[in-house]
Each structure stands twice: as structure tokens, then as C-alpha cells.
Amino acid sequence: MKLPLTVAIIQARMASSRLPGKVLLDIAGKAMLQWVVERTRLAKSLDAIVVATSTDPADDPIAEFCAAHGYACTRGSLHDVLDRYYHAAVLHGAYLVVRLTADCPLLDPGLIDQTVRQIWGAHSVHTITAVPWYDFTANRLPPPWGRMYPIGLDVEVATFNALETAWREATAPHQREHVMPFIYENADRFKISVIHHDHDYGSLRWTVDTSEDLAALRALVPLLPRAFTWLDVLRTWQAHPEIAALNAAVPHKTVTDIDTRAS
């Protein structure tokens, strides 16, 4: 039996508040968005990968970059990212939606597959039941769930039905901007599962949101093996404390932080 469509949607925009244009900045000879798409393509559980950017003219370079590289791309609301995700999911016939962000160039395809397997309550991505066991799975969430994977490996998976419910009912600005909070903030209505690691690496920062983050990853990536996992990144990061020090003081945004330019 063929599995329903699992679609990864990678949100990307040029107007980052702390590092404008970051998704097309170079890391070891590739634009950051290219790293994200190529890493995502290594996952075995996905049927389609879509870059979801906005209709703002400032995001034309992202659409042009996707066209030049053969990436599927949709465009929607600049600040209502939940609406952007919903319409991308509808357009591509998604049954499961995998949320990824274009500022995480070290994301791990194995963790994507693990999070997709979890929503089915399965050990294999080829296992299918009548319906997914969960409505939403992730490898990190805000308290009280917490995170044990480094910042920058974030994967969230939701059924289309859960996403549609959020799209119809979410009203808080942070729920619209960050896509999935309505689901896990209403845990009494949805079945939710969070994947944790055996050890707590949740304070490590491998995302790119500032110039300090960019400097750290530009120093780190050339030291990684060609086909690296997140554990390879961890070993290299721990072996080079001078790299980890480059962005150690950068504060991480919380789920309630919103772009005030939207108001």
C-alpha cells in the first residue's frame, strides 16, 4: 500500500531581522538554502520538498534561486507563515507536513525520518496504519516539553488535519508566525509526541540567525566529512571550542517572539 504524501515545507525569507538575506549567504561554497534543500533530500521519508517564501518583492531572489536550481517554490503571506504553510500543503496534496526552516543548514535527514516515523507510531517509514498514531511530532518544543537536540536540527511534523485546524482557529500573532504553536499549546485537543536524545545537547547553537552564527558555521562546515550526520557535527563542535565560542553569547529566540514589523 502506498503511503500518503509527506511533504517537507522549508520556510524562507530575505527579511531576517538580525541577519538580512541570510538564506542566500554563502557557507563553504553553497548558499545556505541550498544546504538545507540538499540535506532534506537525503531523507527517505519525504515525497516532496517545497520552499515556501513570501509574495513580498524582497523575496524575489529566493524564488529566482529556486527556479535556477529546480526547487519547487510557493509564495504566500510574509508574516502569516501559518497561512503560507497551509496553502503550500494544499497545493502539493500533503497528508503529512514536515516543517523545516531555511536557517538550519546542518539539519539531519535521519532526524527528519525519525520524526516522521514517530507520527505513525512506527519503527519504519514504510509502516502504515489506518491513521497516524499522533497528530504532531517534533524533536524539540518549548517548556514543559523541552529540547535535547541542538538548536538548528529542529523538525516538526503535523497531519494536514491538525495544520488545517490551526490555520482555521489560531489567532495569536506568534501562532500565525511560528506555524505550529496552536497545536502544542492545545495539547488537550491533539495527540503530541516529542523525541528526546539520551543526552542533553539543547544548549548548542547550530542555526544561523546572526553574523556570529554565520561565522561559526563557516568555520565548522569545512571540517565536516562529506556525508555527515549530526553526530559528526557534534564531535567536530566539541573538538573545536574556539568555533563554539563564536556564537556562544547569542540569545536564542523563543516561540513567543514575533516580528514587530508585522504590526
Quote the number of domains for the chain.
1
> For residue range 98-156, what is the model confidence (pLDDT) as tens digits?
999 999 999 999 999 999 999 998 765 555 566 889 999 999 999 889 999 999 999 99
Q: Output the average pLDDT for the chain.
A: 93
* Largest CA-CA distance found in the chain, in angstroms, rounded: 51
Whether residue 1 lies inside any domain: the answer is no
Whether residue 241 lies inside any domain: the answer is yes
Which CATH number belongs to the domain containing residue 46 in this structure?
3.90.550.10
Report whether pLDDT(45) > 70: yes
Q: What pLDDT is attached to residue 127? A: 59
Report whether pLDDT(37) > 90: yes
Spatial separation of the C-alpha atoms in residues 242 and 195, rounded to whole Å: 30
Spatial separation of the C-alpha atoms in residues 229 and 197, rounded to whole Å: 15
Lowest mean pLDDT among 2-6, 10-14, 50-54, 239-243: 2-6
Amino acid at 262: A
Could you tell me what percent of the chain has a pLDDT over 90? 87
- Over residues 10-35, the mean pLDDT reads 96
Residue 245 grid cell? 565560542
Q: What pLDDT is attached to residue 49? A: 98
Q: What is the pTM of this model?
A: 0.94
Whether residue 141 lies inside any domain: the answer is yes
Spatial separation of the C-alpha atoms in residues 153 and 149, rounded to whole Å: 7
Residues 6+ apart with CB under 8 A from 229: 108, 110
Spatial separation of the C-alpha atoms in residues 246 and 139, rounded to whole Å: 25
CA-wise closest residue to 49 among 2, 102, 13, 1: 102
Spatial separation of the C-alpha atoms in residues 258 and 211, rounded to whole Å: 20
Whether residue 204 lies inside any domain: the answer is yes
Range of the domain at 91: 6-262
- Over residues 46-51, the mean pLDDT reads 97
**Cα→Cα distances 89→7, 77, 262, Å:** 7, 14, 23
- Over residues 221-231, the mean pLDDT reads 97
Whether residue 207 lies inside any domain: the answer is yes
**How deeply is 86 buried, as exposed, middle or buried, from its count of CB atoms within 10 A (0-12, 13-18, 19+)?**
buried
Higher pLDDT pick, 79 / 256: 79
> For residue range 50-99, what is the model confidence (pLDDT) as tens digits?
999 999 999 999 999 999 999 999 999 999 999 999 999 999 999 999 99
- Over residues 32-55, the mean pLDDT reads 98
Higher pLDDT pick, 191 / 1: 191
Higher pLDDT pick, 43 / 3: 43
> Count of CB atoms within 10 A of residue 88's CB?
24
Strand segments, DSSP code E, in 89-183 are 96-101, 136-138, 140-141, 146-147, 156-159
Whether residue 145 lies inside any domain: the answer is yes
Whether residue 151 lies inside any domain: the answer is yes
Q: What pLDDT is attached to residue 1? A: 42
Whether residue 17 lies inside any domain: the answer is yes
